[in-house]
Amino acid sequence: MYEALSPVLSRLGSPYSMLFVNDGSDDSTGQVLDELFRRDRSVDYLSLSRNFGHQSALTAGLDHADADVVITMDADMQHPPELILEMVAAWRAGFDVVHTQKLSTGGRPLRESLAARVFYGLAGRLAQVPIIPHASDFRLLDRDALGALRTLPERDRLYRGLATWIGFRQCVIPYAAPRRAAGRSHYGLRRRLAVVASELFGFSNVPLYVGLVAGGAALVLSVAYLLYIVVWFVTAIGEDRPPGWVSLISATLLLNSVALVFLGVIGVYVARIYHEVRGRPGYVLRAARRHGSSDGSRPGS
């Protein structure tokens, strides 16, 4: 990543620095970063005390970035460094936030591509802020946009939604993502579903209103069935009446299922509220190595 990024940044004609965030890697990433830090004054890095997750690592990097323009990207080489030149050109043309949108991903199985289309399409339709389909965390933020993100008090962050929510002048640059340079992705179906759930519950109250609508529909059906039973009971005098336990059980299961499903929806929102209220930090720094101080480090927040 360093070898691919350095020549691209040198073509910008402006001072730059690279801030790597080591999200609790258990391999030799820390040693490699320390070597790069000693060799190149444009390299800084943060090491988190454990793996806190993608969005928390992004938060750490954004909290410690200090520049007129900040570009966030993954280090698996699926975010092409050459695209940075186009992103900076868009910023110089007047855009404050420059998003990137994946048109395709090299090496991704067809089933994952189809699942991504369905999940992100659903979240995009239900979210109450614009969610760019197939957007990634490869984006440019100018100082004002970054300052706006930093003022947001929430801890459970999803930057794909927050970066559009803050407003400012925004644009989207499409690209084709290449294969991973090395290793294998740990961003499987479970994590993708977690991202979609975060988009849905973090930027939409629609699930709560769906519960209200479904509950109302179930009530209407139950009242209609009750009227049918009353009419049948009155008009069927003298006839053998079936016990009716099947109908009773069916109605009970229907109503209880609706109630339980939407108790679960409410539970998700309550859990998110609890997560915000208890106020734990999104990440903990183990080390922060920054040039510009006497010992090469700067305490993190």
* Residue labelled with tokens 């529909």: 217
| Rounded-to-5 percentages of helix, strand, coil across the chain | 50, 15, 35
> In this predicted structure, what is the pLDDT of residue 299?
35
pLDDT at 36: 92
pLDDT of residue 55: 84
Position 98 scores a pLDDT of 93
CA neighbor of 44 nearest in space, from 28, 27, 67: 67
Query: Alpha-carbon distance 210 to 288, whole Å?
Result: 46
How large is the C-alpha radius of gyration of the chain? 26
Looking up tokens 């990440």 gives 283
Alpha carbon separation from 59 to 46, 55, 77, 254, 296 (Å, rounded): 11, 6, 20, 43, 22
- Residue pLDDT, tens place only, 17-48: 999 999 888 888 888 999 999 999 989 999 89
- pLDDT tens-digit map of 113-170: 566 666 666 665 666 666 777 778 899 999 999 999 888 877 777 788 788 888 889 9
Query: Distance (Å, rounded) from C-alpha 299 to C-alpha 285?
Result: 9
Considering Cα of 178, then 73, then 56, then 124, what sign does the dihedral take? negative
Are 52 and 159 contacting, i.e. CB atoms less than 8 angstroms apart? Answer: no
pLDDT of residue 158: 78
pTM equals 0.64
pLDDT per residue as tens, the chain (301 positions): 899 999 999 898 888 999 999 988 888 888 899 999 999 998 999 989 888 888 888 888 998 988 899 999 988 888 889 999 999 999 999 999 999 988 876 655 566 656 666 666 666 566 666 677 777 889 999 999 999 988 887 777 778 878 888 888 999 888 887 776 666 655 555 666 666 666 666 666 666 667 667 766 776 777 677 677 667 666 755 555 566 655 676 677 667 767 766 776 777 777 777 767 777 778 888 888 887 644 444 333 2
pLDDT of residue 27: 85
Q: Report d(CA 120, CA 112) in Å as an integer.
A: 12
What's the CA gap between 177 and 185, in Å, rounded?
14
Residue ranges of domains in the chain: 2-16+67-188, 206-278
Measuring CA to CA, how many Å separate 166 from each of 71, 174, 248? 17, 21, 51
- Least Cα distance to 149 among 170, 128, 135 occurs for 170
Which candidate, 2, 47, 122, places its Cα nearest to that of 290? 47
